[in-house]
Amino acid sequence: MVVRELQAPVGTGDAAGVSPEYVRISMASAIALRMHSGRFSRDFDFGGINVLLNYQEACRSDCGYCGLARERPGGHADRSFIRVEWPLVRTDELVTRLARFEPALTRLCISMVTHGLAYRDTCDITRRITARIGTPISVLVAPPTIKRERLENLKTLGVDMIGVGLDAVTEDLFWRIRTDVAAGGLSWDKYWEVIGDAREIFGPWKVNIHTLVGLGETDKDLLALFVALRDRQIFSYLFCFNPEPDSRLAAWPQPPLARWHRVQLARHLIEARGFGLEQFDFDDEGRIARIRAARSVLDAVVAEGTAFMTDGCPSGNGGPGCTRPYGSYRPAEPFRDYPFAPTPGDLEGIRRLLGLDDLIN
């Protein structure tokens, strides 16, 4: 993710620090806020700060792919999340840094975990931030801890958008990977109840659903969900499976880069260009086999590059807000989603992997 010369972050001397007095922030956020020294492998403006609640008991859920899973070996301080380091910092020091760098900030996102105190602490942290900072705030909620009244209160506190980490895009996968495990206990129906309540409370395009490519779903499964969410004016945000060491899916392979880029292209066509499921053909394995569109349309979308950028919550002016750099791949690996506009060289590589000639014939 980053070429770094690390110094101790604020708060790491207190390994027992828990929310709301402490939070974790992504390494990219720590560098942007000058709480760590280092630099990105490519220069770009970064203003989307990601905050993660922290507890000694970690997350009470036990998703098979997650670095924060309850039953993952090792102490909580040694765990990662989407294979990115999350330094521990004092919440009040973080707010001071946010105020200092506010002109450069585009979006703040607070990620809950499944824990009995997560909602209370999210409200506390949100109040501290909104008292000093006007940057738009998203909350990635943990549905087991959420009910309608709590969503209404988050909006009252100044939260701008709600995210839900559905991840597994079919009920069967959700059950096998997130529920049918030692300490899973998550409910597909509860997740969709929270999604529906959030859409009613926050309004159109103010809710986003995280979808994880590579858990065993088909392309058809993904595209059907993208269409359904688009029709409800809910964003679908793409994440690529990136195996966490010591998780139950540690040996599960990442999806091929060619498949990933085809899914990115299809999601963009559905959400930004109004494509329906009928404009895609699938093979017997449910993979995208054909896109029913003119070659000129696909060439134009690829040349624009937006389809292959990180899709996250927007900034206050509608531009990219959360770019969560390098969350889907390791630093030495090819980019999977770009936290900046892809270069002509990047796009040429994407074109080769997409195989557009095969997709339109």
**Gap between the Cα atoms of 47 and 246, Å rounded:** 31
What is the model's pLDDT at position 129?
98
Distance separating the N- and C-terminal Cα atoms of the chain: 37
Q: Domain coordinates of the chain in residue numbers?
A: 2-255
Give the residues of the chain that fall short of pLDDT 70.
1-16, 38-45, 72-84, 182-184, 325-327, 329-332
Under a CB-based contact definition with an 8 Å cutoff, are residues 236 and 208 in contact?
A: yes
Say what angle helices 188-202 and 148-156 make with each other, to 10 degrees: 40
Under a CB-based contact definition with an 8 Å cutoff, are residues 335 and 293 in contact?
A: no
Q: How far is CA 361 from CA 243, 268, 292, 297, 355, in A?
A: 34, 20, 9, 14, 11
What is the model's pLDDT at position 137?
97
What is the model's pLDDT at position 321?
79
Q: How far is CA 310 from CA 34, 179, 229, 356, in A?
A: 23, 28, 18, 21
What is the model's pLDDT at position 3?
38
Under a CB-based contact definition with an 8 Å cutoff, are residues 164 and 194 in contact?
A: yes
Judged by phi (left if over 0) then psi (alpha if -120 to 50, else beta), residue 17 lies in beta
What is the model's pLDDT at position 231?
98
What is the model's pLDDT at position 339?
87
What is the model's pLDDT at position 42?
65
**CATH number of 2-255, picked from 3.20.20.70, 3.30.230.10, 3.30.565.10, 3.10.110.10:** 3.20.20.70
* Phi/psi of residue 121, nearest 5 degrees: -70, -30
- Which pTM does this prediction carry? 0.91
Judged by phi (left if over 0) then psi (alpha if -120 to 50, else beta), residue 165 lies in beta
Per-residue HEC secondary structure of the chain comes to CEECCCCCCCCCCCCCCCCCCEEEECHHHHHHCCCCCCEECCCCCCCEEEEECCCCCCCCCCCCCCCCCCCCCCCHHHCCECCECCCEEEHHHHHHHHHHCHHHCCEEEEECCCCCCHHHHHHHHHHHHHCCCCCCEEEEECHHHCCHHHHHHHHHCCCCEEEEEEECCCHHHHHHHHHCCCCCCCCHHHHHHHHHHHHHHHCCCCEEEEEEECCCCCHHHHHHHHHHHHHCCCEEEEEECCCCCCCCCCCCCCCCHHHHHHHHHHHHHHHHHCCCHHHEEECCCCCEEEECCCHHHHHHHHHHCHHHECCCCECCCCCECCCCCCCCCCCCCCCCCECCCCCHHHHHHHHHHHCHHHHHC
What is the model's pLDDT at position 75?
55
Dihedral, CA of residue 85, residue 22, residue 35 and residue 102, to nearest 10? 110
> If you search the block for the tokens 């999806």, which residue do you land on?
255
Beta bridge partners of 207: 162
What is the model's pLDDT at position 327?
67
Read off the pLDDT of residues 286-323 as tens digits, 9 standing for 90 and up.
999 999 999 999 999 999 999 999 989 998 888 777 88
Q: How far is CA 106 from CA 55, 90, 182, 257, in A?
A: 27, 21, 39, 29
Q: Give me the half-sphere count of Cα atoms (radius 13 Å) on the Cβ side of residue 129.
A: 34
What is the model's pLDDT at position 68?
83
Judged by phi (left if over 0) then psi (alpha if -120 to 50, else beta), residue 74 lies in left
